[in-house]
Chains A and B, each alone.
Chain A
Amino acid sequence: EAAVTQSPRNKVTVTGGNVTLSCRQTNSHNYMYWYRQDTGHGLRLIHYSYGAGNLQIGDVPDGYKATRTTQEDFFLLLELASPSQTSLYFCASSEGVQAPLFGEGTRLSVL
């Protein structure tokens, strides 16, 4: 069964802390994405990748790094977390012109 799994589901950290959000897909999709969702902004693209070792910059990349270690795994890194990065984060995967399949989301709070 096609799936995108994010971990952790919830995370609380302090300003200046390091955070890694993980995403794994079992769909054999080439594309993977990280979005953040904030009230009034919808879903905004942070980074995306079309294969292992590939990384593309999205619309709101500042303060975020990402790494695609395998076709299945895509990580989002916040090395110096700030309160402005408090948000709901979604990972997704897709292939061709198909609609992306989304994970369940990770709620991050930066205090």
Chain B
Amino acid sequence: AQKVTQTQTSISVMEKTTVTMDCVYETQDSSYFLFWYKQTASGEIVFLIRQDSYKKENATVGHYSLNFQKPKSSIGLIITATQIEDSAVYFCAMRERGNSGTYQRFGTGTKLQVVP
């Protein structure tokens, strides 16, 4: 089975700074898809950004961007100009093929606290 690892349990940053959250993965697939999600304090899980492994360009959506380092099996999430509202738990995930069908395998999450 594939594996997704987030080693940072929690991070605290000052508002308006840039933060990077780490994620490493294991896969035998030559083509794969990586995702980042945000879970708010209310429990809502929201999709943020995706990286397709065959694309060389790092994905960017708003103030979220990815640092995709394929040789290192690493997909970091970068949040620039952080805001208080960015405080949440962030999950990295990979699309995995089961015996029949596909699903998402998640990391354990990183809790981000943005302080004034």
| Interface positions of A (Cβ within 8 A of B) | 31, 33, 35, 40-45, 48, 50, 54, 56, 58-59, 88, 90, 92, 94, 97, 99-102, 104-105
| A56 engages B100 (CB within 8 Å) | yes
- Nearest-CB distance from A105 to chain B (Å)? 5
B106 in contact with A42 (CB, 8 Å): yes
Contacts of B103 in A (CB 8 A): 31, 33, 45, 48, 56, 58
Identify A41's interface contact among B52, B104, B108, CB under 8 A: B108
**Closest-CB distance, A6 to chain B (whole angstroms):** 11
Question: Are A42 and B109 interface neighbours, CB within 8 A?
Answer: yes
Q: How far is the CA of A33 from the CA of B101 in the complex (A)?
A: 11
Q: A90-B45, A99-B50, A105-B43 given as contacts; is B106 within 8 A of A43 (CB)?
A: yes
Contact indicator B43/A104 (Cβ below 8 Å) = yes
In the complex the two chains form, what is the Cα distance from A54 to B100 in whole Å?
10
**In whole angstroms, what is the CA distance A59 to B104 when docked?**
11
Among A40, A54, A100, the residue within 8 A (CB) of B104 is A100
Residue of B nearest to A97 (CB): B33
| Chain A residues within 8 Å of B46, by CB | 102
- A44 vs B109: C-alpha distance when bound (angstroms): 12
| Residues 58-116 of B contacting A (Cβ, < 8 Å) | 91, 93, 95, 98-109
Contacts of B47 in A (CB 8 A): 99-101
Q: How far is the CA of A52 from the CA of B81 in the complex (A)?
A: 45
B101: nearest residue on chain A (CB-CB)?
A50
Q: Report the bound CA distance from A105 to B46 in whole Å.
A: 12
Would you list which residues of chain B between 1 and 49 have a CB under 8 Å from chain A?
A: 1, 6, 33, 35, 37, 43-47
Complex: A71 Cα to B11 Cα, angstroms: 40
Interface centre among B45, B50, B100, B106 (most CB of A within 10 A): B45
Q: Known contacts being A97-B95, A102-B45, A105-B43, is A40 close to B108, with CB within 8 Å?
A: yes
Contact A42 B91 (CB under 8 A): yes
